[in-house]
A and B are shown apart, each in its own frame.
Chain A
Amino acid sequence: MTLLAQPPTSAPIPECPYLERALIEARERIQVKRIELDEARSRRQRIINALRREFGGRCYVNGSVAHGDALTPLTDIDLGVVVPNDDGVYGPGRRGPADLQQRAADAIRRELGGDFPNLRITWIGQRRAVFVQFGDPVTPGQKDFTADVITAIDYVGGNGLHIPDNDGWSRSDPEAHTRMISERNDATHASFARVMRLIKHWARRNGKPLCSWNIKALGLEALTRETGMLDGMRMWFDHAIDSLSEGPTDDPAHVAGPIGLPDGWSIGEVVRELQEAARKLRRAIRFEQEGYPALALDELAKLFRDPQMMPGPTSADLQSDIKRREANLAPTAAILPTTVSSNALPLKPRSWGRG
Chain B
Amino acid sequence: MNASWYGESMTFRVMLEAEAKRRYGRHLTVRLNGPLPQVNFEGSLVYNLDALDVRGRVMPVPVEVTFRPRLRAQYAAAISAEDYPRVVADPGAESPHRLDRNALCLYYPWDPPEERWSAPMGLASLFDLTAQHLFYEQWWRENDHEWLGREAPHGGPTR
Residues of A at under 8 Å CB distance from B?
268-269, 272-273, 280, 298, 301-302, 304-307, 310-313, 315, 318-319, 322, 336-341, 343, 345-355
0/1 string, B11-36, CB within 8 A of A gives 1: 00000000000010110000000000
Beta-carbon contact of A339 and B58 below 8 Å: no
Q: B99 contacts which of A338, A346, A348, A353 (Cβ < 8 Å)?
A: A353
A338-B148, A340-B54 known; A349+B128 contact, CB < 8 A:
no
Q: Nearest Cβ in chain A — how far from B99, in angstroms?
A: 5
**Is B47 on the interface with A (CB-CB < 8 A)?**
no
Binds A, one of B2-10, B37-45, B63-71, B114-122: B114-122
Beta-carbon contact of B139 and A319 below 8 Å: yes
Beta-carbon contact of B115 and A302 below 8 Å: no
Beta-carbon contact of B132 and A355 below 8 Å: no
A350 to B136, CA, bound (A): 12
Beta-carbon contact of B97 and A352 below 8 Å: yes
Residues of B at under 8 Å CB distance from A?
23, 25-26, 53-60, 96-99, 105-108, 111, 114-117, 121, 124-125, 127-129, 131-133, 135-136, 139, 142-143, 147-156, 159
A339-B131, A343-B124, A343-B125 known; A352+B55 contact, CB < 8 A:
no
Kindly report which residue of chain B lies nearest to residue A352, judged by CB atoms.
Answer: B152
Q: Which 3 A-B pairs have the closest CB atoms?
A: A355-B154, A355-B155, A349-B107
Q: B56 contacts which of A298, A343, A351, A354 (Cβ < 8 Å)?
A: A298
A301-B58, A340-B54, A346-B121 known; A351+B136 contact, CB < 8 A:
yes
A280 to B58, CA, bound (A): 12
Count CB-based A-B contacts (< 8 Å): 128
A343-B128, A345-B129 known; A350+B60 contact, CB < 8 A:
no
Q: Nearest Cβ in chain B — how far from A264, in angstroms?
A: 9
Please give, as numbers and ranges, the residues of chain B lying within 8 Å of A353 by CB-CB distance: 96-99, 105, 154-155
Kindly report which residue of chain A lies nearest to residue B147, judged by CB atoms.
Answer: A351
Please give, as numbers and ranges, the residues of chain A lying within 8 Å of B124 by CB-CB distance: 341, 343
Q: B55 contacts which of A337, A346, A355 (Cβ < 8 Å)?
A: A337
Please give, as numbers and ranges, the residues of chain B lying within 8 Å of A322 by CB-CB distance: 55
Beta-carbon contact of B55 and A298 below 8 Å: yes
Beta-carbon contact of B151 and A352 below 8 Å: yes
Kindly report which residue of chain A lies nearest to residue B116, judged by CB atoms.
Answer: A349
A76 to B42, CA, bound (A): 52
